[in-house]
């Protein structure tokens, strides 16, 4: 998270002087679902609102942490 993830990305963006050259996508296009909505989705409780959010998104964050071995081992807590 610090060296290649969101914290590093935020630091680089904040330090960049020509922010007007960068287009940031709205959160609803890259992370449309909340952690609670993802939990509902995993257990099959998808709502029409969630379906609509996913349909409009470019990407979806499922909060699974599969890249982190400790998180992956404990993924049942999600």
* C-beta separation of 63 from 78 below 8 A: yes
Query: pLDDT for 14-50, tens place per residue?
Result: 999 999 999 999 989 999 999 999 999 989 999 999 9
What's residue 17's pLDDT?
Answer: 96
Whole-number CA gyration radius for the chain: 15
Neighbouring residues of 31: CB distance < 8 A, sequence distance ≥ 6: 57, 59, 60, 61
Domain boundaries, the chain: 23-77
51 vs 5, more confident: 51
């Amino acid at each position: 998270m610090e060296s290649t993830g969101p914290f590093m990305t935020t630091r680089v963006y904040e330090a960049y002087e020509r922010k007007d050259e960068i287009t940031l996508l709205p959160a609803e296009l890259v992370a449309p679902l909340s952690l609670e909505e993802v939990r509902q989705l995993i257990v099959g409780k998808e709502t029409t609102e969630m379906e609509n959010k996913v349909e409009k998104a470019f990407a979806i964050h499922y909060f699974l942490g599969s890249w982190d071995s400790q998180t992956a081992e404990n993924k049942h807590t999600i």
